[in-house]
Amino acid sequence: MKMYVTPVCSVEHVSRSNRGHKSQHHHEMNIKYLLVVICLWIWSQSLVFTISDDGLMRITLKRRNLDFESLNSARIKEAIHLKDFKSFDKNGSEKEVVVYVKNYFDVQYFGEIGIGTPPQYFNVVFDTGSSNLWIPSSKCIFSIACYFHSKYSSKISSTYKEIGVPCEIPYDQGYIYGFFSQDNVKLGDIIIKDQEFSEITREGNFALLALPFDGILGLGFQDISVGRVTPVWYNMIEQGQVLDKVFSFWLNKDPLAQIGGEIVFGGMDKRHFKGDHTYFPISQKGYWQIEVGDILLANNTTGFCKGGCAAIVDSGTSLIAGPTGVVTQINHAIGTEGYVSFECKNIVHNYGNSIWESLISGLNPDILCADIGLCSNNEFQRSNDVIETVVHNETRDGSQTKESPFCSFCNMIVLWIQVQITQSNVKEKVLKHVDELCERLPNPVGQSFINCSSVSDMPNITFTIGSKLFHLSPEQYILKVNDDKDCSPVCYSGFVALDVPSPQGPLWVFGDIFLQAYHTVFDYVWCERSLLAFARMTS
């Protein structure tokens, strides 16, 4: 699983001709790794690419099943606001962005492409949350992870064109490094000519060792592309390889099925959905981002996103991520163990009565926490800006100040009490409920385990998008791990906490769990008219 990044290409002059001599020992190690790669290559199964009579190109996806090894890494990390990452608007001026990190673990789907002439084949994640194509390079010598994946060699490709500009891409809690090259890319029987991509020469993260794929093929917009490289999908359209500017995802949740899913370029396969698609406009260019409204537990509001939240549809993320406040309510409703926060409980015990009385009397909830002294008077947090563990607030003059954690907890508690008041609950019951929510806060370093036998009793979770409700049943949002045939399965929630401050947040990330439930069409109508569409999957 992963998170987002608006990365920056480091354009520095780096000589690629200065290559040191390798020791004999290093040669022997390379041979050993080469034998491992050969064994893994023989072991891997080939994928199926078909172009049907209707003119659509289908790419069959493999599915990596969930196991305990990937379970510990299958979480979305905290959002990090860093000064040295910039994006650029249309006029070329800089603006700050929230930076995310990607972690491609857990339930993951990937397919095969070819690069070069003759084609060299790679398994890649087709990722709507990024826009670059990157794969390991034959020049990746000193990173162990490269020896466990297929590597691209420009020497054996007759269509290779050198670019050589170095690039660094934030990945997980570090970076991967490489440089730009240009070559033909093969998708099924289609050849995309002169595609610019990144050859990765250093994969510093050991997590990459366990990945069942070699690289990433981004299907996002050029706005978030490293180095402003033209994405593969843009070139497919410009070179006339597809008639319609759309692609669609069908992800198969059945762990026993041989086919993990399918991407259709140029249209959609009607066998994979029922009814009509509902279309929504892209709210902000860069990611496939839409606006969502209220989130419901069963038929009850959670109070979050009534005024609107952003949601990014991302095929490169496994789970669904959202603000801590609403994920906590989901945890409580489905019976996860949660994470006890004494700071949260202290605020309930010390200020719960005061917060209740203030809300009943009509005090503006946005200034309530500042009024009782838990938030600064001049820079109070809105209730949706929940726990910011590594995100600093900025004062109006641009200097950074760090808001007290009590402020974030307070705003969250205010919202929880507001929701309970609308349900006409008495004060004692409300404060007891909020105290329980403090015990259900998502564990920042682990997963939210639940009892598998109680799945059928859990509520539906519903997202409001436009005027339409999109339901997720517990069977759809609960992940089941059965790593040992002699042991009972283990279940855990498919929801994880992600807190992104305004103006980018509050933010939801609809990963593979959502895409498994809804057939999704990415309608690339260019400019500001791009659309996303969802339809219920066939059984």
Beta strands per DSSP E along 295-412: 295-297, 300-301, 309-313, 320-322, 393-394, 400-401
Q: What's the alpha-carbon Rg for the chain, to the nearest Å?
A: 24
The answer to whether the CB of 219 falls within 8 A of the CB of 249 is: no
Q: What is d(CA 194, CA 184) in angstroms, rounded to the nearest whole number? A: 5
Q: What's the Cα-to-Cα distance from 366 to each of 275, 295, 362, 524, rounded to whole Å?
A: 42, 20, 11, 39
Sheet strands side by side (includes 295-297): 300-301, 295-297, 461-465, 468-472
DSSP state of 90: T
Kindly tell me the sign of the dihedral angle through the C-alpha atoms of 392, 396, 399, 401: negative
The answer to whether the CB of 187 falls within 8 A of the CB of 49 is: yes
Provide the residue count of the chain.
Answer: 539
Q: How many CA atoms lie within 13 A of 309 on its CB side?
A: 30
The single residue of 183, 214, 314, 385 carrying the catalytic annotation is: 314
Tell me the two tokens of residue 503.
């103006």
Q: What is d(CA 493, CA 518) in angstroms, rounded to the nearest whole number? A: 19
The amino acid occupying position 345 is K
Q: Is 127 a catalytic residue?
A: yes
Nearest to 482 by CA among 95, 17, 71: 71
What is the SS3 assignment for 76?
A: coil
Q: What's the Cα-to-Cα distance from 266 to each of 423, 525, 527, 536, rounded to whole Å?
A: 48, 12, 18, 20
The amino acid occupying position 424 is S
**Between the CA atoms of 74, 76, 80 and 84, what dihedral angle is there, to the nearest 10 degrees?**
60
Largest CA distance in the chain: 79
List the helix and strand counts (H, then E) for the chain: 10, 30
Q: How many CA atoms lie within 13 A of 71 on its CB side?
A: 17
**Between the CA atoms of 403, 409, 415 and 416, what dihedral angle is there, to the nearest 10 degrees?**
180
How are beta strands 393-394 and 400-401 bridged, if at all? antiparallel
Q: What is d(CA 43, CA 483) in angstroms, rounded to the nearest whole number? A: 21
CB atoms within 10 A of CB 202: 19
Return left, alpha or beta for 486; rule: phi > 0 is left, psi -120 to 50 is alpha, else beta. alpha
DSSP state of 421: H
The single residue of 127, 214, 294, 523 carrying the catalytic annotation is: 127
Report, as residue numbers or ranges, the catalytic residues. Answer: 127, 314
